[in-house]
Amino acid sequence: MKNVDKYARGYFMPPEMSLNWAKKEYITEAPTWCSVDLRDGNQALVVPMNLEEKLEYFQMLVEIGFKEIEVGFPAASETEYVFLRRLIEDNLIPDDVTIQVLTQSREHIIQKTFESLRGAKSAVVHLYNSTSVAQREQVFRKSKEEIIEIAVSGAKLLQKYAEETEGNFKFQYSPESFTGTEINFALDICNAVLDVWKPTADNKVIINLPATVEMSMPHVYASQIEYMSNHLDYRENVILSLHPHNDRGTGVADAELGLLAGGERIEGTLFGNGERTGNVDVVTLALNMFSHGVDPKLNFENILEIIEVYERMTKMKINERQPYAGKLVFAAFSGSHQDAIAKGMKWREEKDCEKWTVPYLLIDPKDIGREYEGDVIRINSQSGKGGIGYVLEQQYGLDLPPKMRESFGYIVKDESDKFQKELLPDEIYGIFMKEYVNVSTPVEFLHYAYTKSDDYETKVTVNIKGEVEELTGFGNGRFDAINNALQQKLGIQYSDLVYKEHAQETGSKSNAVSYVGITAADGSVYWGSGIDADIMTSSVKALCSAVNNLLKG
């Protein structure tokens, strides 16, 4: 590509390599989660949420299990100010939930922020100012010392107004654009703020290190976090928080490696909504932990309901391939994938497995409210016999013989290819019924009767092209006798008869399902199926269906 030389790596590695995080295998416990949907996410919407929408969204976040929720920038928006007052005055904040608000390091903004928080039972006041080289030089045109003074004066003002305001307050500081800041300068400014607040075991503060712009590969961010964690003053009384964005598409990786490197808290949004390419996706991050057997302490068991509220409130859509949440993320169209999933599911049933190990499915879709039917096995022209057979078995109780699955699979794939569309389960079932079940032309089975002597003598009544005839056959059983009668009357020969039967559903009123395959003289195999309350009748109907398919060629 042209112009590649104009780009430079704008991040800063720590002065000493910090790689202890790389020795850890996985995240062993959930971080403290802080949803920033109602601030960072909301300000990124084309049409921000109104008051009633914000109230509904807040309630959903509480139900999911968030214990910290950033509710806005009350000094910058009248809607957010009114929303915050409504939460406090109407006692809508549960006792175990802490709200968070954002403020710049400017006295009139800090003053109005504390006015909005009057009477809050538990609130985090989040102070920030930008510290990166680009921001210092291009936007503020200030020295490092002047940038530190902005942060320190803001920290002092937070203390002042907290003492004068009714409520219970905690403090948080973010060196905004941390990833573009020299690491030692980021450390200096954070320690300067900590020297003002002097956190204790009973009054901890939050230092939040945001990837305001994601500028490096995730391992660099992790090394930056580990270095800061190792060198922050008052470390035992500091909660180290991460706020990754997704400019490079690795926000989740930044968060995961950052947690290994010492992060204890995550600020993010549902489905990654946020400025530019978005914030870290809390749903993906939490369910990644879940897939490793770690309780994320957030409840996404009703993911479809959460998606409905999210899309209605934000006017945004979940991508079909969004991890865990997208409509197609559990779907398998490939024949080999479908076959592996179907066999994996059967293995679980047979072995009564405790752990989830089904091929191609990272987690059990049912654990987040998704269904196997319509979510996992999806049928189109790329599908195979395993997936098609799985759909019929799971939804309609039809367990086809393996070779019949293969034959039917070609019919379904041709149908999908012909109309260039995915086939729904009901459509697949309809094709099966039309092609194989109780086929009655040109030979329609009516009824039979038999007597047992040395050989079974069986009389079968059929309608052949409008004429009713009674045929007599002999064999080593009723089915064999009817089979012989049909071959003799119709003047046909076939061999290698395949037969299978089962109950379509449990209970005394269940239908019997039979499958019959016959091989014609030229080697072609023809299949038929019969469904009836009587097992023998279903068998004869299956045989007649196979014969009819042979006659039709």
Across the range 39-54, mean pLDDT stands at 94
Q: pLDDT, tens digit, for every residue of 94-131?
A: 999 999 999 999 999 999 999 999 999 999 999 999 99
How far is C-alpha 497 from the chain's CA centre? 46
- CATH topology agreement for domains 24-314 and 443-551: no
Higher pLDDT, 386 or 489: 489
How far is C-alpha 128 from the chain's CA centre? 33
Across the range 276-298, mean pLDDT stands at 97
Tokens 């509220």 map to which residue? 309
CA dihedral 187, 192, 195, 197 (to 10 degrees): -100
Name the residue ranges covered by the structural domains of the chain.
24-314, 335-434, 443-551
Neighbours of 134 (CB within 10 A): 13
For residue 451, what is the enclosing H or E element? strand 443-452
Q: Is the pTM of this model over 0.75?
A: yes
Name the pLDDT band for 349 (thresholds 50, 70, 90).
confident
What's the one-letter identity of residue 176?
E
Structure tokens at 458: 């069986």
Across the range 436-457, mean pLDDT stands at 84
Q: Rounded to 5 degrees, what angle do the CA atoms 336, 342, 345 make?
A: 140
Weakest mean pLDDT among 264-268, 295-299, 360-364, 419-423: 419-423
Alpha helices in 352-384 (DSSP H): none
In the DSSP assignment, the letter for residue 208 is: E
Name the fold adopted by 24-314: TIM Barrel (3.20.20)
Beta carbons within 8 Å of 237's beta carbon, 6+ residues apart: 199, 200, 201, 203, 204, 205
Q: pLDDT, tens digit, for every residue of 379-394?
A: 765 666 677 887 888 8
What is the spatial distance between Cα 146 and Cα 140, in angstroms, rounded to a whole number?
A: 10
312-to-11, 47, 138, 272, 368 alpha-carbon distances in Å: 38, 12, 39, 16, 20
Q: What is the mean pLDDT of the chain?
A: 92
What region, left, alpha or beta, does residue 152 occupy, with left being phi > 0 and alpha being psi -120 to 50 degrees? alpha
Higher pLDDT, 527 or 388: 527
Decide if domain 443-551 falls under CATH 1.10.3720.10.
no
Name the pLDDT band for 375 (thresholds 50, 70, 90).
low
What is the spatial distance between Cα 6 and Cα 3, in angstroms, rounded to a whole number?
A: 6
Q: 443 exposed, middle or buried (CB, 10 Å; 0-12, 13-18, 19+)?
A: buried
295-to-203, 268, 388 alpha-carbon distances in Å: 27, 18, 35
Helix (H, G, I), strand (E, B) or coil at 377: strand
HEC-encoded secondary structure of 148-177: HHHHHHHHHHHHHHHHHCCEEEEEEEEEEC
